[in-house]
Structure 1
Amino acid sequence: MALFNQKTDLFDGRPKDVLHVAPEPCFKPIFHQKLGSGYITANLNDDHVMVKMDITNIQYPDASFDVILCSHVLEHVPDDRKAMREFWRVLKPTGWAILLVPIMAKVTFEDPSIVDPQARLIAFGQEDHVRVYGRDFPDRLREAGFTVQTTTVTDLVPNPEAAIRMG
């Protein structure tokens, strides 16, 4: 919540159309209460959302959302660049997005020929990941059209012990 309260206008009281992809259960009730009817949850493989959605083919028109939230999803998506372009397409010109991925390498590594879950675990760190993102992740977002501002945990919580405690 620190990121949303300190670095965004998400809870400033003005109405917003918010797309939350693969919403975290701890955030859903808070966001729904604070954001109201403009808050939409979406997922491809989870029935506990409002909309079933493939983020590489978003069913909403251009410039539909003020805010897009997507945490730890893109590393599961075979065509992440298409998903990023779709996020850019449905984001309003004055909108913003928080797109989080685990950065585990210097340069992004992906190999679509690796399909076996055990091989993916070895290559990407998790059975259902299709890549390991590197520090070039912002470049992928820029290629999709985004202006990127990188935020790290130390930008929000300068105390290392507090950062560890908060996960």
Structure 2
Amino acid sequence: MKSHDLLCPACGSRSRTRRLYSFLLNDHALQGNLLHFSPSRSLYRTFKKLNSINYFSTDFENEFVADYKIDIRKIDFEYSCFDTIICYHILEHIEEDIIAMKELFRVLKPNGTCYLQTPFKGGTIYEDTTKITKSQRLQAFGQDDHVRIYSVQGLKKRLEQVGFKVSVKTFRPEQEDAYLGYRSPETVLIASKS
């Protein structure tokens, strides 16, 4: 069941989008070549205006505003091309997630950073390849186009298996959450290539 989000009345951004933007600014990640999967309209508009990045926005399903149509399982770019990759709420839709992770690793530059987020649950990753209809997937995974639910540690382990060094950042509730429209707790995985 989906919970209500805190949408910005000015730009329509979700709480996770606002926190991501703040996190990227604080992390000095808005430089060089940036690959962004299925960007929100608010981030797309913001990033397109930045002179500090070469922005590559992509959406495979034509559901988001984007300049490219790239299959995350076969990213049509050279090795070590991107300084920053944003992969928010993508991998839970991808049946061949290990292939996608290998591609993310391949196109990320050494010392580059990939920011990842999915819905998370406690325990282990839950996936069941027998769930193929929309109603089965809705019941099993909470959304009819999801194919699994990751745990934080499960996703971290899979990313490490393809070569990433991964840290986990969990944002805890703080006083300014209400003012900034954040929803906490929220977890982001930061995967780097060294």
TM-score (norm 1): 0.88
Letter in 1 for 2:182: M
Q: Does 1:133 align with 2:153?
A: no
Return the match for 1:144 from 149, 152, 162.
162
Q: What number of residue pairs does the alignment pair up?
A: 161
Contiguous gaps of at least 5 residues in structure 1: none
Identity of aligned residues (%): 30
Residue aligning to 2:83 = 66
Residue aligning to 2:71 = 54
Q: Tell me the distance in 1 between the aligned counterparts of 2:24 and 2:45.
A: 15
The structure-2 alpha-carbon separation of the partners of 1:121 and 1:76, relative to structure 1 and needing over 3 Å to count, comes to same
Residue aligning to 1:5 = 25
Deviation at 1:149, TM superposition (A): 1.1
Residue aligning to 2:174 = 158
Kept in 2: contact 1:85–1:144 (CA 8 A): yes
TM-score (norm 2): 0.77
**Could you say what the CA RMSD is over the residues aligned between the two structures, in angstroms?**
2.0
Return the match for 2:57 from 18, 41, 63.
41
Matches within 5 A, 1:99-118: 99-118=116-135
Contiguous gaps of at least 5 residues in structure 2: 1-20, 184-194
Kept in 1: contact 2:34–2:53 (CA 8 A): no
Q: Tell me the distance in 2 between the aligned counterparts of 1:35 and 1:97.
A: 20
Kept in 2: contact 1:65–1:91 (CA 8 A): yes
- Secondary structure of 1:121 counterpart: helix
Letter in 2 for 1:92: K
Letter in 1 for 2:158: R
Q: Tell me the distance in 2 between the aligned counterparts of 1:165 and 1:124.
A: 26
Deviation at 1:57, TM superposition (A): 0.6
Residue aligning to 2:13 = none
- Secondary structure of 1:148 counterpart: strand
Q: Deviations over 1:39-77 (max 9, x none)?
A: 000111117311111100111010010000010010000
Kept in 1: contact 2:160–2:166 (CA 8 A): yes
Letter in 1 for 2:33: D
Residue aligning to 2:8 = none
Q: Tell me the distance in 2 between the aligned counterparts of 1:23 and 1:163.
A: 24
Deviation at 1:25, TM superposition (A): 1.1
Q: Tell me the distance in 1 between the aligned counterparts of 2:110 and 2:53.
A: 21
Residue aligning to 2:36 = 20
- Secondary structure of 2:143 counterpart: coil
Letter in 2 for 1:138: K
